Amino acid sequence: MNEPDAIELAIFKSAFHSIAEDMGGALRRTAFSPNIKERRDYSSAVFDTNGDVIAMGDDMPVHLGSMPMSVRAALDKLTLEPGDVAILNDPFAGGTHLPDITLVTPVFANGSERPAFFVANRAHHADVGGMYPGSMGPCREIWQEGIRIPPVKLMRKGTLNTDVLDLILNNVRTRREREGDLTAQIGACRIGIERIGEMLEKYSLERVQGVVKALLDYSERLMTTELSRLPEGEFKAEDYLDDDGVTSRPIRIAVTFRTVPKEARIEIDFSNSDAQVAGSVNAVFAITYSATFYVLRCLLPDEAAPTAGLMRPVRFVTPPGLVVTAQPPAAVAGGNVETSQRIVDTLLRAFAQMLPDRIPAASAGTMSNLTIGGIDPRTNQPFTYYETIAGGSGGRPVGDGMSGVHTHMTNSLNTPVEALEYAYPFRVRRYSYRENSGGVGRFRGGNGLVREIELLTDAQVTLLTDRRVQPPYGLQGGGPGALGRNVLKQGEHERELPGKCSVSAASGDVLRIETPGGGGWGR
């Protein structure tokens, strides 16, 4: 077969991307939970016969960069046959945190004995059991956080494995919603199989796999070209998480870049970061890899395909047992959502030394995770609400930051007020921009948000938030963004809640979340 030209590469890159997008669209339209169908807290991707990622939907960076490790864990553990669907969420087997459940499905071509491709999707489930409703609490070990699923077959040769499904559903608070979301994920995988089948029928397996190899190599060339333009040397940066929810000690994330432009490679060393901690902000290596993938991808042109080839010139130095390479039995719920953001902040701070005219100031730096659980008085059934609340993005070398947006490792939406009040026993009292919360500078940081929710029933309120002590940094002389705040109003009394906590609240109480603004850029 002739080597594919640039036009053919572009056509197939778009075709594979559209398959991932079609999978995501099917999942969104058929999911039960507001977290998936409204907030779009899911991701889809396509993998080649070796399990290397070749296409991603325009979804959640924290999911997409780490999903290849879940696919690899499933392929190492299981022999997948036609009609099989693997399920897993184990953070120590390629996952991120327990609410993120991944499904992996093989795609066979006519007459092929081994899978020609794989499709996978990952969705954040609003409850997977554990100590706290929503499974996102300030735990001390992984077993407190929810059900931990190793790679197993949810479907076998087209038949649902009801034993596995029952085992999962008997360990969650919202059984019907979880079953509906898992069924939607299975349907999304089927869409991926159908779309790839149509592609193979139109072209041929040999031709498509030849283009896939060329796409991987092309991505590698784009990355090596970008790395060859960096200044040579050693560049260091650090940033801090506020705390781990157990002690008030700040937690250090440190990175050292070692660039060798003439060899077009880079070494990324996290070994000076703090050791894993008692609280739930530990990140497994899949998170660190994912954050690095995201930052490096941001250096490339928009049209660059986000494939496994991008990471071939990258070498990691990541000793086990750090807060960025956590080992069992560490609690990890907050590592996926909070530590991932701080890893990005630290990486960008280091890149700002090399590329000062391209790197923005720090964005909000937290997903401001809120979970509320209890019994819905309208149905007398358990409910679990989960949301990440947007903040300000950092000022940029070319303009002000944006206000009220999800940034970096999250790419979700806020739950619309109408959907939230319909699905849960809440009343939204206020939803607005937080004025003057962006950092000052030549280009200001974007403003955060203020969201006030009145509870219409007794409930457990859990927060995993950051940037309540350590503000988002400015760059090139810009000022920091405003710190976030969490406030619970009970009658006439207001009390400020710590960044990471779980409290009992009564009907009529009002929770106010004020998210951080972005840092400013330039004097």
Distance CA 363, CA 365 (A): 5
20, burial (CB in 10 Å: exposed 0-12, middle 13-18, buried 19+): buried
Q: What is the pTM of this model?
A: 0.96
Q: Which two tokens stand for residue 185?
A: 């994920």
Give pLDDT < 70 ranges for the chain.
Answer: 1-2
Which own/partner pairs from 207-210 qualify as long-range (CB within 8 Å, at least 24 positions apart)?
207/1, 208/12, 209/48, 209/49, 209/116, 210/1, 210/4
pLDDT reported for residue 112: 83
Three-class secondary structure of residue 8 per DSSP:
helix
Distance CA 346, CA 176 (A): 40
pLDDT reported for residue 499: 97
Among all chains, which residue has been given the structure tokens 């006439």? 492
Q: Which two tokens stand for residue 357?
A: 């005219």
pLDDT reported for residue 174: 97
Q: Are 440 and 397 in contact (CB under 8 A)?
A: no
Closest alpha carbon to 126 in 20, 35, 52: 35
403, burial (CB in 10 Å: exposed 0-12, middle 13-18, buried 19+): buried
H helix runs in 203-229, sequence order: 205-228
3-state secondary structure string across 39-70: CCCEEEEEEECCCCEEEECCCCHHHHCCHHHH
Q: Are 108 and 116 in contact (CB under 8 A)?
A: yes
pLDDT reported for residue 1: 57
pLDDT reported for residue 28: 96
- The set of residues, in sequence order, having a beta carbon less than 8 Å from that of 296 and lying 6+ positions away, is 223, 310, 311, 314
Distance CA 155, CA 237 (A): 46
pLDDT reported for residue 61: 86
pLDDT reported for residue 4: 81
Cis peptide before 498 (omega within 30 of 0): no
Percent of the chain with pLDDT over 90: 94
pLDDT digits (tens, 9 = 90+) for 405-450: 999 999 898 999 999 999 999 999 999 999 999 999 999 999 999 9
Looking at residue 50, its amino acid is N
pLDDT digits (tens, 9 = 90+) for 472-509: 999 999 999 999 999 999 999 999 999 999 999 999 99
